Amino acid sequence: MNKLVVNLDNRSYPIYIEPAIFKETASLLGQFDSGKEFFIITDSNVRPLYGDVLFDSLRNAGLSPQLLVVPAGEHSKSLQVAEDLYTQLLAARVTRQSKIIALGGGVIGDLAGFVAATLLRGVPFIQIPTTLLSQVDSSVGGKVGINHPLGKNLIGAFYQPQLVIIDPLVLKTLPIREIKAGLAEVIKYSFIANAGFFKQLSASITDIINLNDLMLVQDIISTCCQIKAEVVAKDERESGLRAILNFGHTIGHALETVTNYDYFLHGEAVAHGMRGALYLSFLHQYINKNELTRACALIASLEPPAIPTHITGEALVQAMSKDKKRSDKGQLWILLQKIGQYDMNRNVPAEMVKEAIDFILTGN
């Protein structure tokens, strides 16, 4: 079994990654000596695919599961839905010996994790991520939260799970558009941390997109989780290094904002944002033309939807200036010194940013 550990002193936890490991969930949960009560929080799409199966397998193993289902989609990351979950959990007499299982994509992980972090000042929770994005990114690291009408992810906490169970087999039911969006984050890890991984992805991207070899997919997910686990272990609360995981996200978030969050999937916006960050790295005389071309070719293989033609450079610059992560010291850019090596940089002139945005808008 492929096992990684996120090292955070007494908050350390294992990540298990293996095709078909989902079927072993009941026995993996059996390792907890306290409490047999498990509350599975899932969404309306995942429930018929995996929720009912998990419920039955826990019950057959002598545990006492309950299933709580919320509507699929980003709208469920709200205070209203969190409150409904608090009500259902309290009515079912949840205790701190109970465990909450987040079974679904990043929406469910963030929402169920937030509910777990806040209810009774903390109920233990377990992540079973079922989208590629959640398997390589959101289920590891302990950022949980919900949205506010004034912005995304504004209400939340750092609250680590006790266990993460990742089954690449469940990706077989995921729409290919979601796979490609998740792969943008996968490619991101290769850019910031691992040139060998970039080569591996470039050589096998078509097989990965089509999930032709689940052992390869396991390997890819494992590399991503390893990179993320190392970054999180060094900077759990995002006071420094964790910012490197935002490579491509400054322009990506701006693209999501100007398209009202209803045109791009997150990973698609990040795919375009990474092209911008790569071009900035080129203008900064870090990566050369050849590296820029190879990196952009890998992103292009994900075929992100084109940026709508009415989007202007000015609108993107304005959206970036409102990004919550901007500090008094100026915009922090994550650049690449070369493929596989990040640079945190606050000295990127506005002119260069405009040029990079032109690059992604015009495609050359």
Ligand X SMILES: NC(=O)c1ccc[n+]([C@@H]2O[C@H](COP(=O)([O-])OP(=O)(O)OC[C@H]3O[C@@H](n4cnc5c(N)ncnc54)[C@H](O)[C@@H]3O)[C@@H](O)[C@H]2O)c1
Active site (catalytic) residues: 121, 143, 185, 228, 238, 242, 246, 249, 253, 266
What ranges make up the beta strands (E) of 71-150?
99-104, 125-129, 143-148
56 versus 314: smaller Cβ distance to ligand X:
56
Instruction: Give the one residue of 133, 205, 270, 319 binding ligand X; rule: CB under 6 A.
Output: 133
45 sits near ligand X (criterion: CB under 6 A): yes
Instruction: Give the one residue of 17, 26, 29, 46 binding ligand X; rule: CB under 6 A.
Output: 46
270 sits near ligand X (criterion: CB under 6 A): no
Instruction: Give the one residue of 19, 51, 65, 105 binding ligand X; rule: CB under 6 A.
Output: 105
Q: How many helices (H) and strands (E) does the chain have?
A: 14, 11
Give least dist CB 171 to ligand X, A. Answer: 6
74 sits near ligand X (criterion: CB under 6 A): yes
The token pair at 59 is 């019950």
Instruction: Give the one residue of 18, 43, 256, 268 binding ligand X; rule: CB under 6 A.
Output: 43
169 versus 195: smaller Cβ distance to ligand X:
169
Count of residues that bind ligand X according to CB under 6 A = 28
Contacts of 152 (CB under 8 A, 6+ apart): 261
Instruction: Give the one residue of 127, 138, 194, 223 binding ligand X; rule: CB under 6 A.
Output: 138
Residue 286: C-alpha distances to residues 115, 123, 212, 272, 290 (Å): 43, 46, 35, 19, 12
Between CA 297 and CA 282 the distance in angstroms is 15
Binding mask 304-343 for ligand X (x = CB under 6 A): ----------------------------------------
Between CA 300 and CA 278 the distance in angstroms is 13
Give least dist CB 186 to ligand X, A. Answer: 12
Give least dist CB 33 to ligand X, A. Answer: 28
Q: Helix, strand or coil for residue 324?
A: coil
Give least dist CB 354 to ligand X, A. Answer: 28
Between CA 135 and CA 141 the distance in angstroms is 11
| 242 touches 232 (CB < 8 A) | yes
Place of tokens 């006071």: 239
> Which window, 100-108, 191-199, 210-218, 287-295, contacts ligand X (CB under 6 A)?
100-108
295 sits near ligand X (criterion: CB under 6 A): no
137 sits near ligand X (criterion: CB under 6 A): yes
178 sits near ligand X (criterion: CB under 6 A): yes
Instruction: Give the one residue of 47, 99, 143, 253 binding ligand X; rule: CB under 6 A.
Output: 143
Q: Helix, strand or coil for residue 158?
A: strand
Element (H, E) at 344: strand 341-345
Q: Which residues pair with 148 in a beta bridge?
A: 151
Instruction: Give the one residue of 153, 162, 204, 345 binding ligand X; rule: CB under 6 A.
Output: 153
Q: Which residues pair with 143 in a beta bridge?
A: 158
141 sits near ligand X (criterion: CB under 6 A): yes
Between CA 174 and CA 160 the distance in angstroms is 26
78 sits near ligand X (criterion: CB under 6 A): no
| 184 touches 270 (CB < 8 A) | yes
Radius of gyration of the chain (CA): 20
The token pair at 262 is 């209803």
49 sits near ligand X (criterion: CB under 6 A): yes
Which positions touch ligand X (CB under 6 A)?
43, 45-46, 49, 72-74, 77, 104-108, 110, 130-131, 133-134, 137-138, 141, 143, 153, 170, 173-174, 178, 266
